[in-house]
Structure 1
Amino acid sequence: MPAATFKGNKQSLPSKPCVACGRAMAWRKCWAKNWAEVKYCSDACRQAPKAKHA
Structure 2
Amino acid sequence: MHLKPHLPSKTCGHCQRPFAWRRKWARCWVEVRFCSERCRREARRAGRAT
TM-score bracket, normalised by the shorter chain, equals: 0.7 to 0.9
Whose helix fraction is larger, Structure 1's or Structure 2's? Answer: 1
Q: What SS class does the counterpart of residue 30 from structure 1 fall into? A: helix
What's the % identity of the aligned pairs?
43
C-alpha RMSD over aligned residues: 1.8
> Structure 1 runs of 4+ off > 4 angstroms?
none
User: When the two structures are superposed, what TM-score results if normalisation uses the length of structure 1?
Assistant: 0.74
Which 5+ residue runs of structure 2 have no aligned equivalent?
Answer: none
Q: Which protein shows a greater Rg?
A: 1
Q: Aligned partners of 1:15 and 1:33: how far apart in 2?
A: 15
